[in-house]
Amino acid sequence: MKILVAVKQVSVLDDEFEMRDDGRDVDEDFFEKDLNEFDHFAVEEALLIKEASGGEAEVVIVTVGDDDADDALRTALAKGAERGVRVWDDSLVDADSVTIAKVLAKVVEREDPDMVFTGAQSVDFGHAATGMALAGLLGWPHAAVVSKLDFKPGDENATIHRELEGGLEEIMSVTCPAVLSIQLGINQPRYASLRGIRQARQKPVDELDLSDLGLSAETVKAASRVRRMYAPERGQAEIIEGSVAEQAARLAEIVKELRGA
């Protein structure tokens, strides 16, 4: 029994930043790197299943990213996963969700897991598409924003809960293997101590490039591309102070100004 968890190293933006010269992203200097928040929950869910089964499952973490992404991978490994897979090729720099899913699909073929978890979305770009695309490529069932999961190794079906609009809750049954995108709050992710992360360096990580997976730069060419990224002018806010009469007067003034009177 094997659970594969796909994780991503995300960029966390500083509150003051500058754009890259090509205007298609923020300058790297203004990022801090971290394991995607949603992925903490996905990893935890896999570990909980493993622990509940008395360690009968193997949890494998996979990420697509350069050396830098090792930190995220080690963090996930430190929590208790068995081993990791990291895929990188410079041609993946501009990869979109579907391209990443293509790579992941090859990893899934290689690893042959019984279940694949991803975070519901990444906190930096938030496409929420990788899991879905991966399931599509594999021809597996997919469930998005899973908020509760009932599954143990050997089960043919997994029972999942999803929270819908209007406070509705949906209970679904999916046939395994499946790709599940895990929602925040499904569990309480454990903390990976720095010592644990350091010791996770001893855990095996397969470093693969495209050719190892039978892919090439051509096959992973992104079909979508960011054209421009910019911060639109901000609206203005003002806290109006003073007595009620003063406040009313100021309000009237603003309304007049905006109407262009």
Partner 1 sequence: MIGTEHDPQEVTRILFRDFPLWMMVVFYMAAVCALGSFAYGTYAQIRKYRRGVRSGAWSPFVERFVGMVRDVLSHRTVKRRDTSAGIAHAWIFFGFGLLFIGTSVITLEYDILGPLTGLTFWHGRFYLVFSLILDVAGVGLIGALLYMMYRRKWLGLPKLDYARPDRIPEDPDYDRSFYRREDWAFLWILILIAVTGYILEASRLVWLQHDATVWDYRWWSPFGAIIAHFLQAVGVGSEGGAEFRMGLWWFHGLLAFAFIGLIPYTKVKHIFTAMGSLMARDPDAKCHLPMADVDEEKIGFSELTDFTDKYLLNFDACTKCGRCHEACPANAAGYPLSPRDLVLSLRELADDKLSDVRLPEGPIEICGDGVNQIRPETLWSCRTCGACTEICPVGVEHLPMIVQMRRALIEEGEFDPVLQPTLRSLQKSGNALGESRRKRPRWTRKLDFAIKDARAEPVEMLWYVGDYASFDPRSQKVTIAFAEILHEAGVDFGILNEDEQTAANDVRRIGEEGLFQAIAEANIELLAECDFKSIVTTDPHTFNTIKNEYPELGGTYRIEHASAVLERLIREGTIQIPKNLSYRVTYHDPCHLGRLNNGFEPPRHVLSELGADLVEMPRSKDNSFCCGAGGGRIWLPEPPELQKPAEIRVQEAAEIGGLDVLVVNCPKCLNMMEDGVKGSGNENNFRIMELIELVAEAMTAGKPGQDDGAQEAVEVA
Q: How far is the CB of 145 from partner 1 (least distance, A)?
A: 21
Per CB under 8 A, which region of 97-105, 109-117, 196-204, 251-259 contacts partner 1? 196-204
Note whether 159 and 171 are within 8 A (CB). Answer: yes
Count of positions on this chain that bind partner 1 (CB under 8 A): 20
Q: Is 190 in the site for partner 1 (CB under 8 A)?
A: yes
Among 193, 211, 224, 247, binds partner 1 (CB under 8 A): 193
What CA–CA distance (Å, rounded) separates 212 from 107? 10
Among 52, 164, 194, 229, binds partner 1 (CB under 8 A): 194
Name the burial class of residue 53, with classes exposed (0-12), middle (13-18) and buried (19+) by CB atoms within 10 angstroms of its CB. Answer: middle
Helix (H) or strand (E) holding 164: none
Q: How far is the CB of 45 from partner 1 (least distance, A)?
A: 15
Q: How far is the CB of 136 from partner 1 (least distance, A)?
A: 33
Q: Is 249 in the site for partner 1 (CB under 8 A)?
A: no
Contacts within 8 Å (CB) and 24+ apart, 121-128: 121/38, 121/181, 122/8, 122/10, 122/36, 122/38, 123/10, 123/12, 123/36, 123/37, 123/38, 124/10, 124/11, 124/12, 124/13, 124/36, 127/96, 127/97, 128/181
Looking at residues 8 to 47 of the shown chain, list those that interact with partner 1 (rule: CB under 8 A).
12, 14-16, 29-30, 32-34
Among 159, 173, 175, 199, binds partner 1 (CB under 8 A): 199
List residues near partner 1 by CB under 8 A. 12, 14-16, 29-30, 32-34, 188-191, 193-199
